[in-house]
């Protein structure tokens, strides 16, 4: 499924509104450019507005007539998440695709404004809250989708419910893997709940393989050191190729909901979008239900699947 699929395979997206978190660089920016070229209306949800302006200029250079707007969103701050969601719902009467793309990786130990370990807080809890707050708009939009980015790092991850804040010991890579596994479990569990309520909104997880993006700077804002850049260039694929699973998940008519889309090459590191069956092994209903309950309690965001 999907082998050889590129952005040239995308259908026209005229009339569709797409929110992309972290759209100022890397995979988010590549996805935004592709969506703009297919005539989508874009909401670029970014933490750094200056970088967002630069990204917007690149998008408009690719598609001058694009309808695109920058909106401030800091996923490490639930107040910011709530403000963004409120503004988005007030301004946009429909929401066809929410792409939960933004993320941080392998960061030193620190807490978010709300006291969460930063990777779990930004990568999972911020997106969990954002999705729940935007869900009414998604459910009122026919055939809408939620696309949540996971990572190869999730494949060996584990949710440690007894140490979610890292107070009992912290490993940056371990906590990154935990956050990305949470993304995957959330995407599958959300799709299960949408289906149980007979809704036509679907949820999909995806991963970019080993893509050469600014995550390699480990959220420092600086270029990665020369050795890391050399190794990365040898084994990784471009941000454009890394964005293909996201785009496929967002627009392909073959997506039914609940899938996990990633590159089709060896080890899932490179290649074209395909269905990755490992999600069926990694998804654990008991863990996912507990993660959902914990996430609602920590964020204060309760999902309602009743259409208004």
- Provide the annotated active-site residues: 176
CB-CB contact of 51 with 24 (8 Å): yes
* CA pair distance 38, 16, nearest whole angstrom: 10
Which residues have a Cβ under 8 Å from the Cβ of 163 and sit 6 or more positions away? 169
* CA pair distance 251, 228, nearest whole angstrom: 33
Pull the structure tokens for residue 264.
């089709």
* CA pair distance 89, 235, nearest whole angstrom: 41
* CA pair distance 2, 259, nearest whole angstrom: 13
Give the angle subtended at the CA of 123 by the CAs of 177 and 160, to the nearest 5°. 45
Distances (CA, A) of 161 to 168, 186, 259, 287, 293: 11, 15, 25, 9, 11
Which of these, 215, 260, 263, lies nearest to 242 by C-alpha position? 263
Phi, psi angle pair for 15, to nearest 5°: 85, -5
């Amino acid at each position: 499924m999907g082998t050889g699929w590129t952005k040239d395979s995308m259908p026209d997206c005229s009339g569709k509104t797409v929110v992309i978190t972290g759209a100022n660089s890397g995979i988010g920016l590549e996805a935004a450019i592709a969506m703009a070229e297919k005539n989508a209306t874009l909401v670029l949800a970014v933490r750094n507005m200056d970088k967002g302006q630069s990204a917007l200029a690149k998008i408009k250079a690719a598609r001058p007539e694009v309808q695109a707007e920058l909106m401030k969103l800091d996923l490490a701050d639930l107040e910011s998440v709530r403000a963004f969601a409120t503004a988005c719902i007030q301004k946009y009467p429909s929401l066809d695709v929410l792409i939960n793309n933004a993320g941080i990786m392998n960061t030193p130990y620190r807490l978010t404004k709300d006291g969460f370990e930063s990777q779990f807080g930004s990568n999972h809890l911020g997106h969990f809250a954002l999705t729940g707050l935007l869900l009414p708009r998604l459910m009122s939009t026919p055939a809408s989708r939620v696309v949540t980015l996971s990572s190869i790092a999730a494949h060996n991850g584990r949710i440690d419910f007894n140490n979610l804040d890292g107070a009992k010991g912290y490993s940056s890579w371990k906590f990154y893997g935990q956050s990305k596994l949470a993304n995957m479990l959330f995407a599958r569990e959300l799709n299960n709940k949408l289906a149980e309520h007979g809704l036509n909104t679907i949820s999909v997880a995806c991963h970019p393989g080993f893509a050469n993006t600014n995550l390699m700077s480990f959220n420092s804002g600086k270029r990665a050191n020369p050795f890391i850049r050399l190794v990365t260039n040898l084994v990784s694929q471009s941000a454009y190729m890394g964005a293909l699973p996201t785009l496929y998940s967002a627009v392909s008519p073959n997506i039914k909901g609940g899938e996990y889309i990633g590159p089709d090459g060896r080890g899932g590191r490179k290649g074209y979008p395909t269905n990755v069956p490992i999600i069926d092994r990694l998804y654990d209903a008991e863990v996912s239900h507990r993660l959902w309950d914990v996430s609602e309690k920590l964020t204060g965001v309760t999902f309602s699947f009743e259409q208004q």
